[in-house]
Amino acid sequence: MPDPASAQSALSSSVSLMERFQRIRAASESICAPLQIEDYVIQSMPDVSPPKWHLAHVSWFFEAFVLLPFLHGYRVLDEAYDHLFNSYYETHGQPFPRASRGLLSRPGVAEVYRYRQHIDAAMGELLARPPVEHAAEIARRVELGLQHEQQHQELLLMDILHILAQNPLRPAYRSDLRPGSGQLPDEPHWRDYPGGLQQIGHGGEGFAFDCETPRHRQFLEGFRLASRPVSCADYLAFISDGGYARPELWLADGWSLVQQAGWRAPLYWQRTDGRWLEMTLGGLHPLDLQAPVCHISFYEADAYARWAGARLPSEAEWEIAASDLPITGNFLENDHLHPVAAPQAAAMSQLYGDVWEWTASAYRPYPGFRPLPGSLGEYNGKFMCGQMVLRGGCCVTPQAHIRATYRNFFYPAMRWQFAGLRLAKEA
Amino acid sequence: MPDPASAQSALSSSVSLMERFQRIRAASESICAPLQIEDYVIQSMPDVSPPKWHLAHVSWFFEAFVLLPFLHGYRVLDEAYDHLFNSYYETHGQPFPRASRGLLSRPGVAEVYRYRQHIDAAMGELLARPPVEHAAEIARRVELGLQHEQQHQELLLMDILHILAQNPLRPAYRSDLRPGSGQLPDEPHWRDYPGGLQQIGHGGEGFAFDCETPRHRQFLEGFRLASRPVSCADYLAFISDGGYARPELWLADGWSLVQQAGWRAPLYWQRTDGRWLEMTLGGLHPLDLQAPVCHISFYEADAYARWAGARLPSEAEWEIAASDLPITGNFLENDHLHPVAAPQAAAMSQLYGDVWEWTASAYRPYPGFRPLPGSLGEYNGKFMCGQMVLRGGCCVTPQAHIRATYRNFFYPAMRWQFAGLRLAKEA
Amino acid sequence: MPDPASAQSALSSSVSLMERFQRIRAASESICAPLQIEDYVIQSMPDVSPPKWHLAHVSWFFEAFVLLPFLHGYRVLDEAYDHLFNSYYETHGQPFPRASRGLLSRPGVAEVYRYRQHIDAAMGELLARPPVEHAAEIARRVELGLQHEQQHQELLLMDILHILAQNPLRPAYRSDLRPGSGQLPDEPHWRDYPGGLQQIGHGGEGFAFDCETPRHRQFLEGFRLASRPVSCADYLAFISDGGYARPELWLADGWSLVQQAGWRAPLYWQRTDGRWLEMTLGGLHPLDLQAPVCHISFYEADAYARWAGARLPSEAEWEIAASDLPITGNFLENDHLHPVAAPQAAAMSQLYGDVWEWTASAYRPYPGFRPLPGSLGEYNGKFMCGQMVLRGGCCVTPQAHIRATYRNFFYPAMRWQFAGLRLAKEA
Amino acid sequence: MPDPASAQSALSSSVSLMERFQRIRAASESICAPLQIEDYVIQSMPDVSPPKWHLAHVSWFFEAFVLLPFLHGYRVLDEAYDHLFNSYYETHGQPFPRASRGLLSRPGVAEVYRYRQHIDAAMGELLARPPVEHAAEIARRVELGLQHEQQHQELLLMDILHILAQNPLRPAYRSDLRPGSGQLPDEPHWRDYPGGLQQIGHGGEGFAFDCETPRHRQFLEGFRLASRPVSCADYLAFISDGGYARPELWLADGWSLVQQAGWRAPLYWQRTDGRWLEMTLGGLHPLDLQAPVCHISFYEADAYARWAGARLPSEAEWEIAASDLPITGNFLENDHLHPVAAPQAAAMSQLYGDVWEWTASAYRPYPGFRPLPGSLGEYNGKFMCGQMVLRGGCCVTPQAHIRATYRNFFYPAMRWQFAGLRLAKEA
Ligand SMILES: [Fe+3]
Ligand SMILES: [Fe+3]
Ligand SMILES: [Fe+3]
Ligand SMILES: [Fe+3]
């Protein structure tokens, strides 16, 4: 039942929604601009998607959930796309098998861009004259679609790095990235936070994913957080101290993986001629010791913390600490595309940006959680098992996409996301 | 630094400890009495251990953690056993690979029983005259060893069932089990529990595993629990309603598994000539519709709850509900070795016994958790990732082994433990 | 030690060699002309290589075995290529892992073509003025390199078909292929061949691979061969008669595969709305019942023959039958790129071209076989175990590449090559 | 249609058949006498069967192919056994999955022996009074059943060794085995054999498997064979010369396996404290340098031969060399159960016994091969792909089981059979 007032406000806000739509859609294409056509096609592991698939899938999202339900007379460009570009919405047709996305040379890159234009044109038409009775719902879904596309912007950069890193040529995605400051960060200090009955989760205005709701109470003991993330220099000390060879530091599943996969360092590190190098979006570079360590699994973060006599913060602790800080930091827009050293003498630095911070919390529903209705309920809820929460965004996250309540999640073995850690302790 | 008072109390209690030792050790052998020698040898999947391995491993536990450190002049029976019967204590020598336990015909069953006698004799000697300065620590470790052996008593029965169930002959472990009452349980009703700041975890006297500590505060919203677990009849309604064919009911990882493993019913159910049968420790029997459903994974429990318009309780909710109830129910000692129907007209039935109840909680450390020192710290802490908590014990758990604060844990895909579910809801 | 006479003849023939070089090199590029850039990148299974890899690898072959040893002052274009484009020559550096060829977006298609130009230029320089003392060896190796490139021309077309066939869009490689004649072939008749002491293998002038030598004696009993290959109509009768459901027709390994892989028809067949369709280089087409059946494994060929009360011919039988026939048939140059129906009333048709014919012979060395010296000895000899011989070439084989003595070989489970069968019987 | 004369001779020979039946059946049980019950249950890899399964399966063979068809009123002991003990006869019911044989604790060892008695009693009854019209067929099938049981006697010993070798305790099957002579064998010399048109295969009286027929002509070039098999000392020289690290010596599939499986020596060799030890049926012993090397794959045999500048003999060459030699050597009855050193100054030693000799020949049907009719046709024929022929029997083969025409076969990667090699060369 449409609420006329909110429909009206939706209508008026659809102007700015249109502008956001165009800006965010354009940003995806900017991210892909440095790619050669061949780069768009590769799937370097089952978790990675070919860049052209990302570009098409985020467009399909608008088609499936906005255009087909709400744009009268909308015609799809190709009937097969609803299968090819459905990621995992089982209640909406038949998703194409995830691990096979790299087998598709067609539709080619040019056709994918034509598909994007087709979607953009139709979206322009719809947003220009949204049917009044659905305007609010359309606005909600378009907003979700844009947030979704921003998530895929980060995924695009994660996947591009992974794709290029497989190549012995170690090609750079871009050779003009802006380097971070090279200053040595201070020794981290501990900042205390009082315990008590706290509230976390999204409860107010503005967009949030369903998994961030409802806002709810949680009792916390007092705790302490390190003033900056663990740096590469810190992490090298862990390696030098035999960190990867001491089972007592590891969770059992992590230790199995260390032995089986032969992990000896973060994902993109390599030791060549006695020097540590790191593969980045800017190509192969000497390791930046000042920068936060990145591309580690939950198991590695957890083992590091145990080695350091500390622990990972819970997501509630993280959120309490972050909730009154400005959302500034090293994000996608800063165009480093790599973590950079913390500023010196900061009270609490880099909670936002640089690296996602692994938390001690399993990704489970908040008390009273309700997924979105219909197929969009598959967006987050069905992944709430076996994964861990990460917080704060990273150097390839669009700044506007992040909130204190934002919950990112990955399986504990995954390393290709820009993930690091910050230490916590009992007060 | 030994505390003379506690050492004294430990000494005096070592008499009763000796009695408990003998009784619990004997119980393990009673469990194995119905086995043929061949049954002792089989490892039917990597998670299952051959019964003779269990019998030896629980003995090794006393050897490694009590006899070798504390019994002066103790001589091992065979040097190789420290390797063969170490389960997963990486900081204590080299564990024999878990998945290869079924490759060992030697030491044979008779030698394993001789090993048990060897251990029992040495333990008798130690417990008769424990060195005063270590008496408290010895008592603590013996208690842990006994609790450990009780856990393996349950594992023995789980594994025996799994072993015999692989066999097309469907052999019975025992043909003289005592059947449960066949009364139809009442329709479950909802019981309300108020919210507020609660305490959970072990904080008082008596034994508890490290993972149950520390006792700590947790804020809970008001909630409701069903007065009994989900029954087989209830679960059949889920199956009949297409439960295993509707992706919208499932977590993503669960749905993958349903398709890949072809799950269509709980683990030991089979449909033969139009009737549902269940493989039990008493052999293949018609399904007991009144009994709680058992041998389901977390994914199935979660999907059932979603289908029923409810959810799983958190472990805190479960513990609050259970904490003032007597620990009575269908346990190992009742000698059903299978869940039985709930009594009628009970306010809240079967929280303890019958089936472990899957909770919504990931198995993670409590705030302020500290593992035991030394190698015994590997007992629980290193498994705190990727698994879910189950509560309440089951029909093959020794009654004295269970507490309101007891945390059992399994990976969400596992089904060979006696696990079912109870529904919960927001108040 | 160079032989001046042969060096002279090599020199004079190097003119025509240059012409052949240019023609064959150009043919590879013509094959790729219809591809989109995206198509060049895909590796649809470990046995398939991305088309751009083929184009680079055949060039690398000239670099590694001709230019680097014999062209004074030759400079490689990129040092990394010797690793990336080495297929399996373990004694020549480190081959890039075969199954990972599809992970390389770079060097891109344009760079690969530049690499080809670089090689072609250097080869032009060398062939224009070959050093006299190495002229004969250069000529031999260039010839081998050209034969090698022709093999990869066939592989390119096999792989392109496999790549496009994974795509639900079923894209056509070319839409302008020349259809074959649609005439119904005659019922096959049996042609008799006398037994006796025969000679097979390459012994005379002209190029042959090392595996075709030495020419040697073999005793054959009298035998009979069918006058044409098994057609799709014939094969449908096998399917209709339950061919894929009757274990008594199958080799044990084949039967395992039928059950495990779910084979029910040749590789590219699909049944849609009650009609049999076949994916071809021309796209998805109704099955041509008159054409030889194609894309079957050895196991299927063997099972069909058993079902038909016949057997596969040995490679010696095939060679004796083929040795006095003209090498004409449906080859790459006919531009059908698909098997076509046999001409009517032929005494013995399609021994050459259309489909490779699986033989009953394991691919093993001939008596007295000697591989080529050096790394080139890895070309054929090390594959002489576990594979079966196929004979006669197919519709994507360059005509000039085929001989009566030519031995092709694949593992018995492989189906993506253009392979069919011809029946044989005892006389 | 029974032939009265052959029926008569079958009848009269059924007396001695009865004696052979009893003797061979008893031999299987003697082989198992040293086992503990636990040893009977283990399946140490999919190719290995639990000893109790062997004992039951060879009995089932008589039940399925002799008793059920020919003994009027025969009653099976247990209906389930026809499923459990069918190895691979797909046209006779449903074979129990091979890789799951080790999951069956029941029927236990005692029941399996009772099953043997049941079969023996029924066979006694049938052989005492065979129905005249089937006497010849019965005699043929009983003979096949006995040959089959002899094959499984060898398999029993292979499997027992493999089972015990998995155990870090390295238990001995028997500690009373008779050691071989310790004399250093002569350097091998080459013996010449003329070429020409030869005959191989079984053509005369006496039992042979279908795969040994028909006798047929084959043309051979002149060749040379080494006068004895390759010894452990010889093989150590290959290892010392980097044999396992030089790809140029290996077939491609073998080289892959060397790297993937980490092969560095024959299967049961281990290097401990600088000494080479070998696990044998007599337990862990210092390597016998004089004895033929044993437990190597075809790939290793082939690589050794290439390293030695020689090759493996074809099965025809082997058979020609063996056909006029007496069938004597180190067989099961010699009770070494391990290869022993060759006698000195022998013209041609150990063609029979000690180790099976890998040949260069793929296991394929002889020209004109016809498998046995009915389900027994599955005995050999369906395995004629992908495997290599071995000749001559070994130290765990019953002597009476071997012939010059006998064809054994294994996949080229298999090592748990007692297999070695003899070198061959062109004349
Ligand atoms: Fe998405
Ligand atoms: Fe344990
Ligand atoms: Fe090649
Ligand atoms: Fe058998």
Does C335 touch chain D if contact means CB atoms closer than 8 Å? no
Mean pLDDT, residues A344-363 taken together:
93
Phi, psi of C286, rounded to the nearest 5 degrees: -60, 145
Chain-chain contact of C216 with D218 (C-beta, under 8 angstroms)? no
Smallest CA-to-CA distance from D266 within D290, D235, D242, D230 is with D235
Mutation for testing the C interface, residue in A40, A105, A111 having most C CBs under 10 Å: A105
Does one domain contain both B232 and B360? yes
Residue C207 and residue C156 share a domain: no
CB-nearest partner of B104 from D37, D108, D167: D167
Tell whether the model's pLDDT for residue A346 goes beyond 90: no
- D38 and B40 in contact by Cβ < 8 A? yes
Instruction: Please give the Cα distance from B180 to D69 (Å, whole number).
Output: 48
B263 touches A at CB < 8 Å? no
Distance from residue B45's CA to the centre of ligand 3 (Å): 43
Looking at the complex, does the CB of residue A386 fall below 8 Å from at least one CB of chain B? yes
D250 interface with C at CB cutoff 8 Å: yes
C106 touches chain A (CB under 8 A): yes
Indicate whether A160 and A206 sit together in one domain. no
**Candidate from A91, A360, A367 with C-beta closest to B247:** A91
C178: confidence class by pLDDT, cuts 50, 70, 90: confident
State residue D171's pLDDT score: 98
Averaged confidence pLDDT in chain D: 95
Residue D235 has pLDDT above 70, yes or no: yes
Residues C54 and C158 in one domain: yes
Q: With an 8 Å Cβ cutoff, is B38 touching chain D? A: yes
Q: Average model confidence (pLDDT) for chain C?
A: 95
Question: Domain check: are A240 and A125 in the same one?
Answer: no
Q: Which of B38, B52, B100, B170 to mutate to test the interface with D (most CBs of D within 10 A)?
A: B38
Same domain? For D261 and D120 the reply is: no
One domain, residues B218 and B104: no
Q: Can chain A be said to touch chain D, i.e. do they have 3 or more Cβ pairs within 8 angstroms?
A: no
What is the tens place of the pLDDT at every residue in D163-179?
Answer: 999 999 999 999 999 87
Long-range residue pairs from A367-372, CB within 8 A, at least 24 positions apart, any chain: A367/A214, A367/A216, A367/B220, A367/B221, A367/B314, A367/B426, A368/A214, A368/A216, A368/B221, A368/B426, A369/A210, A369/A211, A369/A213, A369/A214, A370/A210, A370/A213, A371/A210, A372/A210
Q: What is the pTM of this model?
A: 0.96
Query: Mean pLDDT across the stretch C419-423?
Result: 98
- Say yes or no: D213 contacts chain C, CB-CB below 8 A: no
| Interface pTM, i.e. ipTM | 0.96
pLDDT category of residue D182 using cuts at 50, 70 and 90: low
C-alpha distance from C271 to closest chain D C-alpha (Å) = 28
pLDDT interval class at A139 (50, 70, 90):
very high
The verdict on a CB contact (< 8 Å) between D362 and C362 is yes
Mean pLDDT of C165-193: 89
Q: Are residues C255 and C389 in the same domain?
A: yes
Is residue A214 a contact partner of residue A379, using CB atoms and an 8 Å limit?
no
What is the per-residue pLDDT across D324-338, written as a single tens digit (0 to 9) for each?
A: 999 999 999 999 999
Distance from CA of D89 to the nearest CA of C (A): 9
Q: How many domains does chain D have?
A: 2
Sign of CA dihedral B267, B270, B275, B280: negative
Band (pLDDT 50/70/90 cuts) for residue C6 is low
CB contact under 8 A, B248 and A377: yes
- Mutation target among D223, D248, D259, D414 for the C interface, most CBs of C within 10 A: D248
Determine contact, residues B161/B281, Cβ cutoff 8 Å: yes
Q: Which of A88, A299, A367 is closest, CB to CB, to B252?
A: A88
The answer to whether residue D178 is domain-embedded is: no
- List the single best residue of A211, A213, A248 to mutate versus B (max B Cβ within 10 A): A248
Q: Which residues of C touch D298 (CB under 8 A)?
A: 385
Residue D93 belongs to some domain of the structure: yes
Is C167 a residue whose pLDDT tops 60?
A: yes
pLDDT of amino acid A179:
77
User: Which residue segment(s) compose the domain that C226 sits in?
Assistant: 190-426
Which numbered ligand comes closest to the C-alpha of D144? 4
The pLDDT confidence band at residue A178, using thresholds 50, 70 and 90, is confident
> If you measure from the C-alpha of residue B305 to the centroid of ligand 3, how many angstroms do you get, rounded to a whole number?
58
Mean pLDDT along residues A138-142: 97
Chain D residues within an 8 Å CB radius of C388? 385
Q: Which residue of D has its CA nearest to C385?
A: D251
Residue C262 sits at the chain A interface (C-beta within 8 Å): no
b (16+ CB within 10 A) / e for C306-315: bbbebbbbbb
Structural domain contains residue D389: yes
Considering every ligand atom shown, identify the ligand nearest to the alpha carbon of residue D54 and give its number: 4
CB contact under 8 A, C106 and A40: no
Kindly list the residues from chain D whose CB atom is less than 8 angstroms away from the CB atom of residue C197: 197, 219
Q: Which residues of B touch D107 (CB under 8 A)?
A: 169
Q: Which of A404-413, B77-86, D183-192, D379-388 has the lowest mean pLDDT?
A: D183-192
D39·B106 Cβ contact <8 A: yes
Residue D238: CB atoms within 10 A of its CB come to 20
**Model confidence over B389-398: pLDDT tens digits?**
999 999 999 9
The number of angstroms, rounded, from the C-alpha of C390 to the middle of its chain's C-alpha atoms is 9
Contacts (Cβ under 8 Å, ≥6 apart) of D324: none
Q: If pLDDT is split at 50, 70 and 90, which confidence band does D6 have? A: low
Starting at the edge strand found earlier in the chain, the sheet holding D190-193 runs: D190-193, D223-226, D424-426
D73 lies in some domain = yes
Of B83, B109, B167, the CB nearest to D38: B109
Helix/strand/coil for D426: strand
Q: For residue B147, which ligand has an atom nearest its CA? A: 2
State the Cα–Cα distance between residues A306 and A254, nearest whole angstrom: 13
Within-domain flag for C216 = yes
Please check whether residue C41 touches A, CB under 8 A: yes
* pLDDT of D320 above 50: yes
Q: Specify if A180 maps to a domain.
A: no
The ligand placed nearest to the CA atom of residue B55 is 2
Question: What residues of chain C lie within 8 A of the CB of A108, using their CB?
Answer: 36-38
pLDDT-based confidence at residue A355 (cuts at 50, 70, 90): very high
CATH number at residue A357: 3.90.1580.10
Residue D390: pLDDT band (50, 70, 90) is: very high
pLDDT at D205: 87
pLDDT surpassing 50 at residue D1: no
Range with the lowest mean pLDDT among A15-19, A251-255, B315-319, C214-218? A15-19
Give the pLDDT mean for A31-35. 98
In a domain, A50, yes or no: yes
Alpha-carbon separation of residue A265 from A307, A396, B164, D156, D265 (angstroms): 15, 22, 45, 48, 33
Ligand 4 center from residue B90 Cα (angstroms): 43
Q: In this complex, do B84 and D168 lie within 8 Å of one another by their Cβ atoms?
A: yes
Report the pLDDT value the prediction gives residue A5, as an integer from 0 to 100: 47
> Do A342 and A416 share a domain, yes or no?
yes
Does residue C73 carry a pLDDT above 60? yes
Are residues A106 and A208 both part of a single domain?
no
Query: Do D426 and D224 contact (CB within 8 A), yes or no?
Result: yes
- Output the domain CATH number for residue B64: 1.20.120
Q: List chain C residues with CB under 8 Å of A103.
A: 42, 44, 163, 166-167
Mark whether A267 and A140 lie in a shared domain.
no
Give the whole-number percent of chain D exceeding pLDDT 70.
96
Instruction: Please name the residues between 216 and 235 in chain A that touch chain B, using a CB distance below 8 Å.
Output: 216-221
DSSP reduced 3-state for C146: helix
Question: Are B247 and B287 contained in the same domain?
Answer: yes
Ligand nearest the Cα of residue B148 is: 2
Residues 6+ positions from A111 with CB-CB distance below 8 Å: none
In C125-184, the residues whose Cβ lies within 8 Å of chain A are 163-164, 166-169, 171
* Cα-to-centroid distance, B181 and ligand 3 (Å): 74
**A40, A48, A79, A106: which to substitute to probe chain C, counting the most C Cβ within 10 Å?**
A106
Neighbours of D141 (CB within 10 A): 20
Indicate yes or no: CB of D42 within 8 angstroms of CB of B105: yes
In which band, very low, low, confident or very high, does the pLDDT at C303 lie, cut at 50, 70 and 90?
Answer: very high
Report mean pLDDT in 10-residue bins for chain B, 427 residues: 47 74 98 98 98 98 98 97 97 96 98 98 96 96 98 98 98 91 80 96 94 98 97 97 98 98 98 97 96 98 98 98 95 97 84 98 97 94 97 98 98 98 96
Q: Do A40 and C38 touch (CB under 8 A)?
A: yes
C-alpha distances out from residue D109 to B168, D32, D53, Å: 17, 11, 9
Residue B209 in domain: yes
